């Protein structure tokens, strides 16, 4: 368990004025990592830390490779956090920073592998009802963390436009599928967990060791082509309906920054309890997180985006630690920089749905936007953004930055 220390003190202030704004995503108590360079330059991307509306370049600190940083043990990562905190706190000598508005970003690390889980039980039930009204939740769901191996090469950073994909679509009344542009582009409201120190092939780790292997979280939008997905996913699961693009925030919020927002991990009364390898008293005491999640949409005709949905990571049926532990339980070797998606995190209420598929009842109930437009799924030119933050009385608000993407027409 990551313990609280002086870096979580809500009264601590930074000499960077923007970091003291109560609305900032990046106060002194956050210190998220990124990979950046000066806007419009051909410089190599460098490891940086966000503070207010600025970036601290860590290349002068001897930190030149994000994956190498992620491989460090927790004690070393906490020592670095303390050093960053002391460098940026009020009263410390000012050092050179780059305004975030003058930077461009890339993926924060090398992503060797990407696995997407299915930890949102409310999403699983809602989607299941659309296809299996009498049996929405498959019998293994409450026993095993479900996941599939995604495509790491098409993970892109916030702000990267995505092309509407083409694929095979099988209309219900057709004798054969057709190859066409998807008409049902959807978002999925997720967080992504970046692996820190890995494990050797054939050497799993226990649930109480999982925190040592967790580096931090990012926002993640698992874009989905809902008309391609049902035709191709049987019997082996998601494929081209998912691999055309996954958008992440450029920022990694460390597990140390999120320590104040841990919650007890509990299951509803009467539900199966996790098997022993996915359970422990320590895990039950602190494995859940209170992180607010939001979906925002702006169409080409709108001046400002509108919030479509709001949910919370506390609704996840499987914890981040269980995702890690189960992934390695067969001896699979996780590596620094591997990305694990949570799956769509929907809440129990209709307005807490984490996808358009749920918000529109499978496209049968269009959403009416403030300007009178309607949407079931995304049209060309639509911009979809995810936001997330954690807040709690007595602590500074910690945010995740932007996770935005715009849909371009199919080729």
| Tens of pLDDT, residues 294-352 | 999 999 999 999 999 999 999 999 999 999 999 999 999 999 999 999 999 999 999 99
Q: Which residues contact 173 (CB under 8 A, 6 or more apart)?
A: none
- From the candidate CATH numbers 3.40.50.300, 3.10.180.10, 2.30.30.230, 2.60.120.1270, the one assigned to the domain spanning 6-106: 2.30.30.230
- Calculate mean pLDDT across residues 387-402: 98
Mean pLDDT of 96-123: 98
pLDDT (tens digit, 9 = 90+) per residue, 210-224?
A: 999 999 999 999 999
DSSP 3-state assignment of 128?
helix
Distance, in Å, from the CA atom of 193 to the CA atom of 187, rounded to the nearest integer, reads 18
DSSP-derived letter for residue 131 is H
Residues 6 or more apart from 379 whose CB is under 8 A from it? 299, 407
From CA 398, how far away is CA 352, in angstroms rounded?
21
Q: Is 243 exposed, middle or buried (0-12, 13-18, 19+ CB in 10 A)?
A: middle
Provide the mean pLDDT of the chain: 97
pLDDT on residue 324: 98
Mean pLDDT along residues 20-24: 98
User: Is the pLDDT at 52 greater than 80, yes or no?
Assistant: yes
User: Are the C-beta atoms of 39 and 184 separated by less than 8 Å?
Assistant: no
Superfamily name and number for 114-408:
Fumarylacetoacetase-like, C-terminal domain (3.90.850.10)
Question: What pLDDT is recorded for position 2?
Answer: 64
Domain with CATH 2.30.30.230 in the chain: 6-106
In the numeric block, which tokens belong to residue 270?
């009467």
Distance CA 258, CA 252 (A): 11
Cα–Cα dist 148/229, whole Å: 14
Pairing status of strand 403-408 against strand 162-163: parallel
Residues 213 and 198: beta-carbon distance below 8 Å: yes
pLDDT, position 167:
97
| Separation of alpha carbons 384 and 246, rounded Å | 12
Confidence band, pLDDT 50/70/90 cuts, at residue 395: very high
The active-site residue out of 82, 102, 122, 123 is 123
Q: What percent of the chain has pLDDT over 90?
A: 96
CA angle 188, 193, 198 (to 5 degrees): 145
Residues of the chain within CATH 3.90.850.10 domain(s) are 114-408
Tokens (6 digits) for 253:
């919020």
Q: Model's pTM, two decimal places?
A: 0.97
**Main-chain dihedrals φ then ψ at residue 131, nearest 5 degrees:** -110, -25
Distances in whole angstroms, Cα of residue 28 to Cα of each of 24, 51, 88, 240: 10, 6, 7, 41
In which residue are the tokens 């698992």 written? 222
Q: Is 6 a catalytic residue?
A: no
Determine the straight-line distance between the first and last CA of the chain, rounded to whole angstroms: 49
pLDDT at 132: 84
Q: Residue 240 has which token pair?
A: 């081209």
Query: What is the distance between the alpha carbons of residues 268 and 244, in angstroms, rounded to a whole number?
Result: 36
- Tell me the per-residue pLDDT of 163-206, one tens digit each, with 9 for 90 and over: 999 999 999 899 999 999 999 999 999 999 999 999 999 999 99
pLDDT at residue 1 is higher than 60: no
Task: Give the C-alpha distances (Å, rounded to integers) separating 15 from 54, 60, 82, 232, 257.
Answer: 12, 20, 16, 54, 19
Which of these, 310, 312, 298, lies nearest to 379 by C-alpha position?
Answer: 298
Would you say 325 and 205 are in contact if contact means Cβ atoms under 8 Å apart?
Answer: yes
Structure tokens at 374: 């309607």
Structure-token pair, residue 395 = 């602590």
């Amino acid at each position: 368990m990551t313990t609280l220390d002086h870096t979580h003190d809500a009264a601590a202030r930074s000499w960077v004025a923007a970091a003291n704004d109560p609305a900032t995503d990046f106060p002194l108590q956050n210190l998220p990592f990124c990979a950046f360079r000066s806007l419009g330059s051909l410089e190599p991307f460098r490891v940086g830390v966000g503070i207010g509306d600025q970036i601290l370049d860590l290349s002068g600190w001897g930190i030149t490779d994000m994956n190498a940083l992620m491989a460090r043990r927790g004690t070393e990562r906490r020592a670095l956090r303390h050093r960053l905190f002391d460098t940026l706190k009020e009263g410390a000598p000012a050092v050179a920073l780059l305004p975030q508005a003058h930077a461009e970003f890339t993926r924060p690390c090398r992503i060797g592998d990407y696995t997407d889980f299915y930890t949102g039980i409310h999403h699983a039930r809602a989607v299941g009802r659309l296809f299996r009204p009498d049996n929405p939740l498959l019998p293994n769901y409450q026993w095993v963390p479900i996941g599939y191996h995604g495509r790491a090469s098409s993970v892109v950073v916030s702000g990267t436009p995505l092309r509407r994909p083409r694929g095979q679509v099988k209309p219900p009344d057709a004798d054969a599928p057709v190859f066409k542009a998807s008409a049902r582009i959807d978002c999925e409201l997720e967080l992504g967990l970046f692996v820190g120190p890995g494990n050797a092939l054939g050497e799993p780790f226990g649930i109480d060791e999982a925190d040592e292997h967790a580096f931090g979280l990012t926002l993640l939008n698992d874009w989905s082509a809902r008309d391609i997905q049902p035709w191709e996913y049987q019997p082996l699961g998601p494929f081209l309906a998912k691999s055309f693009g996954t958008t992440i925030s450029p920022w990694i919020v460390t597990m140390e920054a999120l320590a104040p927002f841990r919650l007890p991990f509990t299951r509803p009364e009467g539900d199966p309890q996790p098997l022993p390898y996915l359970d422990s008293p320590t895990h039950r005491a602190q494995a859940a997180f209170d992180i607010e999640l939001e979906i925002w949409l702006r169409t080409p005709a709108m001046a400002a985006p509108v919030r479509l949905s709001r949910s919370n990571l506390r609704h996840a049926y499987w914890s981040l630690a269980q995702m890690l532990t189960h992934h390695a339980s067969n001896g699979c070797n996780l590596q620094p920089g591997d990305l694990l998606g949570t799956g769509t995190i929907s809440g129990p209420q209709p307005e807490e749905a984490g996808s358009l598929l749920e918000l529109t009842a499978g496209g049968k109930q269009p959403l009416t936007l403030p300007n009178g437009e309607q949407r079931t799924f995304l049209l060309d030119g639509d911009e979809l953004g995810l936001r997330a933050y954690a807040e709690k009385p007595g602590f500074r608000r910690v945010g995740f930055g932007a996770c935005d993407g715009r849909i371009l027409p199919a080729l």
